[in-house]
Structure 1
Amino acid sequence: PKSNIPRLAHGLMYLPSQGKVYGHGGNSLAFSSSLYLDREKELGVVVMTNQFGENYYCLGIPELVFGKPESTISEENLEDSNLWKGIYQPARMPYHGFSKLFGLLNRTTVKPQDNFNLVTNNTVFVQQKPGIYLTQDEFSLYSLDVYSNHNTYGKILSSTNTDLIQIPLWQHVCELSLLVLAIASALFSFSYLLTVLIRRISTIRKEKKNLNSYILVQNLLNLIIVINVVWLGIKAFSMSTYTSLKIHFQANMIYMFVTVILAVYNLIKNKDFQLSKNQNLVLFMTVLSSFLIWTNLYYWEFFH
């Protein structure tokens, strides 16, 4: 707690149980393993699996061997759980580069219950003693132990897989709003291009000849870059190598550069276009949507 060493990356961790049990474990898409020891009783448990979805053995077997902890403290000595309410993000998440977007998508809200307990992800954690919250609905390994004396992050919850770092509400709202606006911008570009396509192939209504090329090209670029980002996310979740992702990052950079060039070109040449009121509205929405997508790429890629 008083160092900058990642807590869940090194050493043995406390297992809530009837004794002093410490160990370490890990789960992946392919296999799971864990090791837990009670030095006083000279008892240990090693669990190793080699198939997907068998991590419950690593969680359940140690609990069967060492038992669940028993609370002996009275309510008068419990802490006010309101201390830990807030929005938390797993520490084992990227904090630099475009992939830090995963942190936003993996945040959870912690709420107090009955002044002494906590609720997160619809799971109730009952306070055993100040700083220790045990779940009655899941394995003991899913319990939370709390410590706040950290040099950098301050208030932290700790779970079986990772430390949970509190995120300020304003930061969460701003980042979530930024992402929502980017999605709305992508939907606008898709709707515009779909409308143009329908008008092009329609035999009833013909498209006007003075279609603004900037609007068409920019919305097409918006849609392409959104597809690129979605493809990037799919490949990242499928455990692809970083080398295979570079082309997608390069595409993001090209989009940002070309968008600025097109915006300057349109600003200079705009006086040559005679646009109707509706076309001016579409132009404004195109510029706005491009700005929001560009801002998202810049923020998630460079800003930290």
Structure 2
Amino acid sequence: MKRKFLSLLFISFFIIHTIISTLFTPVFALNLNLFEEKTPSGIPFNKMEKVIDEYVSKYIGKTTPGAAIAIVKNGEIVFLKGYGYADLENQIPVDPKLTVFEWASTSKLFTWTSVMQLVESGKLDLDADIKTYLLPEFAEKLNYNQTITMRDIMNHSAGFGNYAFNTIVLSPDKLVSLEEALLRDKPKQYYKVGTASAYSNYSTSLAGYIVQNISQQPFEAYIRENIFNVLSMNNTSSHPTLGDNSKIIEKKAQGYIPSQKGGFKLGNWSYVSHLPAGSINGTAEDFARYAIALTPDFREKSPLFKDTNTLITMLSPSYDINGEMVGTSHGFFEYVGNYRTLGHGGNTAAFSSQFAVVPEERFGIVILTNAYLEMNILFGLQDLLLGKDYSDIKVPNEELPSSKKVTGRYIPVDRQEGNFVAFTEYFNLYTVKATDQNTIMMNIGPYNGTYLQTKPYYYELIDDNIPFFRNMYHVIRFKIENDAVKHVFVGNGVDLSPLPTGRTMPFLISSLIILLVNILFFIIAPAVLIITIIKDKNKGFHQGNKRFNLYFLVLVLLGLVTLTNNLIPTYKIMISSFRTFAEMKPHILLNFPLLIATITVAVLSFISVRKASISRGFKALYLISIVLLISLFSLLFHWNYFFVVG
């Protein structure tokens, strides 16, 4: 009897231990029947962990120090696992339940969710002028000319170009209020509203500000009350400094920047004044709860909405050009897959994230990493779990237009307009080349994707050398007018356009040549002049020569200073996109006195040259310097180095 009792006790203990271990191990499946399921790409659940482990192990320690991955299916978290380190220096491993990551632009999905909650309650109309929801004095300060609706904002089609500064700062003392950020960091509204999809952090911030105005509470408070608390996302915060949930700060991962020599260097945490665009910090487990809320059973309501139709509407196509949907659903981006897939990605100064759901399959994935611009795990793993086989993409029997008609160089519509950063963007263009009658290759720097034409001017991706193309550029459509490409529709905020008038390749090449010649000349000329001045002094030339030589020397030194003054901010923005305009403003403002000083000295030197006794060669050198200075300042004007934009 005693032995039976002990045996029963041992068996009970073993069962309880097994249950507890199952619940609290990093990887778990709460419903054993799910192992009969497959991922949308066809991987059986009983092999899923092995497949994920094998794939992720190729990149942990190489493209990112750590990662947290969550997978949901049928309303349950079926996979939750951490890889690598949250803190390399202290060898702290990633815990998917506790390690806090920056969610970056995947935060935008919560902004769109809050917008749809207000639409459901009748407080917001997606097709009304957004000025309806802004105080008149604030709306007047925004100073944009075209009418914008919330639907335009959610489609990233509100007419705004990009704005390079202040979106992310690297110190909390540089944060400002959401209202101040919107009035300070205004991008140029340069294209017609509704005609293109151009990714806009600014527009998303504006949407969040409208949520704040309508709800009469700070945006981060609205998100916490109406989303985080509803979904029991207790290890998450959208506050710029995590001030509303400070306990999670001690669990936040360190962020890193991959080194070109291998390894990682410690990066900065990011602070976001435009918090609706990318301020959320949280765990993979918490983010998985949001994925579950977006994929309820068709007989159930999402806890985020009172009406099932609201969720259906939010996840339905909203960006429709010429009757053909092109990739955006009320702020959610469409990804390629065997089933319709929706989500978003994001990057901060030292973190990267990817989120996607497949509503039809009630499936979702969360991938969080603590490295800047990690793409292999984010895009590659998503494609592994959700993607489709390209082999079924075929050329139809009908005759299609020659692919040579779409060849050329293109630039994103979300480019910088109205500030000097545009100069750097125009030297990193997208190139499309025809490889045969129905096939093209699109290159972005060293990366490329191969596309097959399946309908007139409609190309589907069939191969690439980085998973980025599968997630962002899986289908591209060329709009043809007068036998030339007018626009390239992609959706997902990444539409492209041909090079605009005044910035075609001949002009871009000319700009680069002018810049290089100026650099070469104004580095060499000061040394030549100093030597000449010393020789003239030894030869005892008259005062006219001395005066001219002095003006000429000052003139070329002004050219050198002007070049240096503008190359510094250009270099800074090229090596790091996370800059404040306050860093750049002194350089822009300095251009004005430099221009005035250059004109003044040029006039004085022109007057004095007539009284000097100089050789024809030296006079030619002087005239060349005048021509180059004129070309340099013209170039600076054209590329907006004189425009104070913030």
Q: Tell me the TM-score normalized by structure 1.
A: 0.85
Match of 1:132 among 454, 459, 480: 459
Using the alignment, how far apart are the partners of 1:274 and 1:112 within structure 2? 61
- Counterpart amino acid of 2:611? D
Q: Does structure 2 conserve the Cα–Cα contact (< 8 Å) formed by 1:90 and 1:103?
A: no
| Superposed CA offset, 1:37-77 (max 9, x none) | 21111111121222235332211111111123433433434
Q: 1:84 to 1:29 in 2, by over 3 A?
A: farther
Determine whether 1:231 maps to 2:585. no
| Secondary structure of 2:426 counterpart | helix
Q: Does structure 2 conserve the Cα–Cα contact (< 8 Å) formed by 1:87 and 1:107?
A: yes
Percent of aligned positions with the same letter in both sequences?
23
Determine whether 1:73 maps to 2:394. yes
| Secondary structure of 1:289 counterpart | helix
Q: Which residue does the alignment assign to 1:154?
A: 486
Q: 1:217 to 1:7 in 2, by over 3 A?
A: closer
Q: Tell me the TM-score normalized by structure 2.
A: 0.42
- Counterpart amino acid of 2:466? E
| Superposed CA offset, 1:274-298 (max 9, x none) | 2211111111111111111111111
Using the alignment, how far apart are the partners of 1:80 and 1:22 within structure 2? 32
Q: Which residue does the alignment assign to 2:194?
A: 3
Cα shift at 1:249 = 0.3
**CA RMSD for the aligned pairs?**
3.1
Match of 1:24 among 308, 319, 344: 344
Cα shift at 1:118 = 1.4
* Higher helix content, 1 or 2: 1
Out of 284-293 and 229-238, give the one that drifted further: 229-238
Cα shift at 1:7 = 4.2
Q: Which residue does the alignment assign to 2:376?
A: 56
Match of 2:600 among 252, 256, 261: 261
- Counterpart amino acid of 1:3? G
Using the alignment, how far apart are the partners of 2:507 and 2:540 within structure 1? 40
Bigger Rg over Cα: 2
Using the alignment, how far apart are the partners of 1:60 and 1:225 within structure 2? 45
Q: Which residue does the alignment assign to 1:176?
A: 509
- Counterpart amino acid of 2:450? F
Using the alignment, how far apart are the partners of 2:601 and 2:554 within structure 1? 9
| Superposed CA offset, 1:194-235 (max 9, x none) | 223456789xx9687535222211111111111111211233
Determine whether 1:278 maps to 2:617. yes
Determine whether 1:110 maps to 2:301. no
Determine whether 1:41 maps to 2:361. yes
Determine whether 1:243 maps to 2:570. no
1:212-231 paired onto structure 2 within 5 Å: 212-231=549-568
Using the alignment, how far apart are the partners of 1:280 and 1:19 within structure 2? 72
Q: Does structure 1 conserve the Cα–Cα contact (< 8 Å) formed by 2:365 and 2:382?
A: yes
Using the alignment, how far apart are the partners of 1:294 and 1:38 within structure 2? 53
Out of 85-94 and 141-150, give the one that drifted further: 141-150
| Superposed CA offset, 1:3-60 (max 9, x none) | 1464434712221222211221123431111221211111111212222353322111
Cα shift at 1:125 = 1.1
Q: 1:11 to 1:5 in 2, by over 3 A?
A: farther
Cα shift at 1:149 = 5.4
1:81-120 paired onto structure 2 within 5 Å: 81-120=403-442
Q: 1:74 to 1:98 in 2, by over 3 A?
A: closer
Using the alignment, how far apart are the partners of 1:287 and 1:248 within structure 2? 22
| Superposed CA offset, 1:93-138 (max 9, x none) | 2111222112212213211111212123362413163323313432
Using the alignment, how far apart are the partners of 1:4 and 1:293 within structure 2? 35
Gaps of 5+ in 2: 1-156, 158-192, 201-329
Paired residues, what number?
300
Match of 1:189 among 502, 513, 522: 522
Using the alignment, how far apart are the partners of 1:279 and 1:298 within structure 2? 29
Using the alignment, how far apart are the partners of 1:208 and 1:292 within structure 2? 35
Q: Does structure 1 conserve the Cα–Cα contact (< 8 Å) formed by 2:476 and 2:488?
A: yes
Q: Does structure 1 conserve the Cα–Cα contact (< 8 Å) formed by 2:341 and 2:357?
A: yes
Using the alignment, how far apart are the partners of 1:159 and 1:113 within structure 2? 24
Using the alignment, how far apart are the partners of 1:109 and 1:83 within structure 2? 13
Using the alignment, how far apart are the partners of 1:91 and 1:30 within structure 2? 26
